[in-house]
Amino acid sequence: MPDLKIPVDGLSHTALYTAWVRHREAGGPDPLFTDPLASFLVAAAGDHPALAAFITQMGITSSGFPSYHVVRTRYFDDRVRYALDNGARQVVTLAAGVDGRTTRLPCPRDTRWFELDLPDMTEFKTALVEQSGLAPACERVGVGADLRTDWPAALLAAGFDPAAPTAWLVEGVLMYLTLDEGDALLDAVTALSAPGSHLLLEHLAVSMLGDQGTQVRGGLGKHGVVFTAARDDLEEWLGGAGWRAEVHAGVDPAIGHGRSVAPVPAAWLAAAVR
């Protein structure tokens, strides 16, 4: 990939894998979404060995990964759009990876979308968007920060307005933080959220840390990816911080748009308002 330095750590590969799934979905019959940025990345990456190895490993570990990621993507697409339709003009994606939503979801003209990730991934994503030639649908602001440090300071320095209703997207990250780190993240998000804000997040089901998840955890572990935390009490957890949440299992037909999703990986998807 000319002029682009692909991050090589395991968690970065999960972001690249998600882009590959989204590219594959867009090329299939009756796709639930299209993602031109993901397709550009896959075409430019070619036979990148680390990404190819990760895709192969995921196929061995669980055939349910692609279908789950597709349903998850559409779930959060719909809920981001709902938040924007109901007054939010700031969006913050935490651990944004190579998510292409800023280039494919319609946004009101005055929307600002902050994408926060580790500095290397943020630099890579900015270069990727520029080289793709895709025009962001709103103002996109890349923020380089570690969620285990004082990331709110970096977000505020980038121009985030805590007095404005915000749509927060926390996708594919909480299972890699400890429970204490997840609590700290929720506290920080809540402190920065004006009334009318939306919190959209995913968490791993506790069963994935037991026997049910043994094969998945083993496959991910070969690439340095480790599940650290899981919880089954999202409605109560979010409620304790002042959020009213609606929670769905990843296999819930109500959010599947007719797709059949394998029960592994087992995860929860939540949409909450303040």
Q: For 108-141, write each residue's pLDDT tens digit.
A: 989 999 999 999 899 989 999 999 999 999 999 9
Cα-based angle 103, 99, 158 (whole degrees, multiple of 5): 80
The CATH number for 65-273, chosen from 3.10.150.10, 3.40.640.10, 3.40.50.150, 3.40.50.300, is 3.40.50.150
Instruction: State pTM to two decimals.
Output: 0.93
How do 244-249 and 267-273 pair as beta strands?
antiparallel
- pLDDT at 68 > cutoff 60: yes
Across 53-57, 98-102, 188-192, least confident range = 53-57
pLDDT higher than threshold 70 for residue 5 = no
Q: Per-domain residue ranges for the chain?
A: 65-273
Per-residue pLDDT, 1: 46
When pLDDT is averaged across residues 199-227 and rounded to a whole number, the result is 91
Dump pLDDT digits (tens) for 156-200: 999 999 999 999 999 999 999 999 999 999 999 999 999 999 999
pLDDT at 61 over 80: no
